[in-house]
Amino acid sequence: MASIPVPKEATNGFANGDAVPHYDAIVVGAGFSGITSLHRLRKDGYKVHVFESGKKNIANAHPTAASDFGGVWYWNRYPGARVDSETPFYQLNIPEVYNTWNFTSRFSDHREMREYMAHCDRVLNLRKDVSFNSFVNSAEWDIQKSEWHVKTKNGKQARARWLILGTGLLHRTHTPNFPGIENYKGIVHHSGAWPEETSVKGKKVAVIGAGATAVQIVQELGKEASQLTHLIRRPSYCLPMGQRAFTVEEQRGWRGYYPALFEAAAKSPVGFPTLRCDKKILETPEDEREEYLTELWKTGGFHFQLRNYSDVILDKDANKIVYDFWKRNTRERLTDPKKQQIMAPDEAPYYFGTKRIPLEQDYYEVLNQDNVDIVDLNNNPIVSFTEKGIKLGGEDQEREFDYVVLATGFDSYTGSLTQMGLKSKDGVDIKDVWKDGVKTYLGMMMRGFPNAFMCYSPQAPTPLANGPTILEMQANFICDTISALRAQGVKAIEPTRQAEEEWKAGMNAMSKGTLYPYTSSWWNAGNVPGKTSEFLIYIGGIDMYEKQCRETMTGWKGFEIAAQA
């Protein structure tokens, strides 16, 4: 029997016929947030469509969009790219998915994450409701119809009452304005736009940056390049990953506990079912605290950070004790005295735990290699790129490189939202609404943007929590809100200006008395010149955050609502 031709549009989640299809909800982004929002809304009986909106690979480049599921894991293909939330918690709490899937290790790499996303697609039949390669370049509120009108770069359009923005936290790459980079004749790759087939075997490589991405890249390229130069401003305080292989048999044995584990994770502050230590390090005898810190260190993963003493992030003296422990253990592996002073200096360059802590496998052993050099950019700053490499301050000769890797981070929190033509009901682009600072209510909604929600967002516990746990909590709140409003006959909802101001004031109040405000990083948008630097993290934990969010649903505290006519 001959097969019946299927229109290409139908296989890409977009039906023919209506010039501007209408849905109950439009979701932007096909990563974790998009998948869980689509799955949950479909279960609730809604008609939903997802646009995979993609990213900008490098500064001033044309927007590109992904051709499959994955979100950040569609794009993260650089050497060593790997999750740092451990199995089984870096996955969605969807039984039909996790009961038929096995991870191969405690911490999955980028290839396995794309395989996992493909598994989600197969099990949940997601693809039929998704348009890939569809970069959203316009999202405007129709006041007369009380709905969102979304357009894409490739000419697609759709309308819906509800708009969910699952565009990610670290999605739009940031490339500093390096002098003379246009003159460089070698190869430049940003970590967020890495061609998988690239080999640097026998090449001279420069890696600029020292964050989590740079750590993973240096671990791999340092074993392949003939010479690798690691250019950094501040070292990361890396923790031992404790990677190991997982068998199918042990995952089968643990799978019966998954519901209880996921429930405990959701009720925890950080998205892992761990208990916080209620003791203070300054009140603990030295031998006891040394034993406890050693136990955490050997456990691997984020346990050394998550289960440390309660005063470490509050007290400078307590913080110094933990930094000194970290420094001592790190120097046992990084034995070169010069490299020690850059990567694990005598005095902490910033307080422990106040910026992103990466996990590593053999980073310090690679740094110890003779073919790896470390440059402190505070002493030898980048003067300019040259035709053959980079000229550093304090050095007479340029350094020649075949490859330059930009592990220079992302326009965090807002970068993906400010590039999609998202406009308020008054026609003001979100980038102008937020030009003097981010304003949200609950880290999920914004004044002037009715019926629009954000997942994995600023002013939420996002960077201090396991990703799938916090975004599932937010997605569940959003879906429950939509259903409750529909049942009550509400056509539009948006926060009040006062609610936004009080939410931000409350976040800032929580940060006072902690050591977080002393450190500039992407956590407070301090990594992008010209961007307003501000505290963007809800530090009360997922459990407290969800309680506050849920309390607003009674009487819709902090919201303005419009009933159906």
User: Which residue would you say has higher pLDDT here, 255 or 412?
Assistant: 255
Burial 260-277 (b: 16+ CB within 10 A, else e): ebbeebbebbbbbebeeb
Question: Does the pLDDT at position 453 exceed 50?
Answer: yes
- 482 contacts: CB under 8 Å, gap ≥ 6: 25, 41, 44, 46, 162
pLDDT of amino acid 533: 75
- With 0-12 / 13-18 / 19 or more C-beta atoms within 10 angstroms meaning exposed / middle / buried, residue 105 is middle
Give the H or E element holding residue 364: helix 363-368
CA–CA distance, 134 with 151 (Å, rounded to integer): 9
User: What is the per-residue pLDDT across 355-379, written as a single tens digit (0 to 9) for each?
Assistant: 999 999 999 999 999 999 999 999 9
pLDDT of amino acid 12: 43
Q: List domains and CATH numbers for the chain.
A: 8-172+412-563 (3.50.50.60), 181-244+269-406 (no CATH)
Which range among 71-85, 264-278, 385-399, 401-415 shows the weakest confidence by mean pLDDT? 401-415
| Mean pLDDT score, 393-402 | 96
pLDDT of amino acid 62: 40
Residue 31 — pLDDT band, cuts 50, 70, 90? very high
- With 0-12 / 13-18 / 19 or more C-beta atoms within 10 angstroms meaning exposed / middle / buried, residue 62 is exposed
Terminal CA-CA length for the chain: 53
pLDDT of amino acid 63: 45
Question: Does the pLDDT at position 7 exceed 70?
Answer: no
User: What is the per-residue pLDDT across 40-49, written as a single tens digit (0 to 9) for each?
Assistant: 999 999 999 9
Whole-model pTM over 0.85: yes
Tokens 């913080």 map to which residue?
319
Which range among 189-203, 299-313, 464-478, 523-537 shows the weakest confidence by mean pLDDT? 523-537
What SS3 class is residue 258? Answer: helix
Q: With contact defined as beta carbons under 8 Å apart, do 478 and 37 qualify?
A: yes
pLDDT of amino acid 54: 63
Question: Does the pLDDT at position 59 exceed 80?
Answer: no
pLDDT of amino acid 28: 96
Percent of the chain with pLDDT over 70: 93
Tell how many helices (H) and how many strands (E) occur in the chain. Answer: 17, 19
Mean pLDDT of the residues in the chain? 92
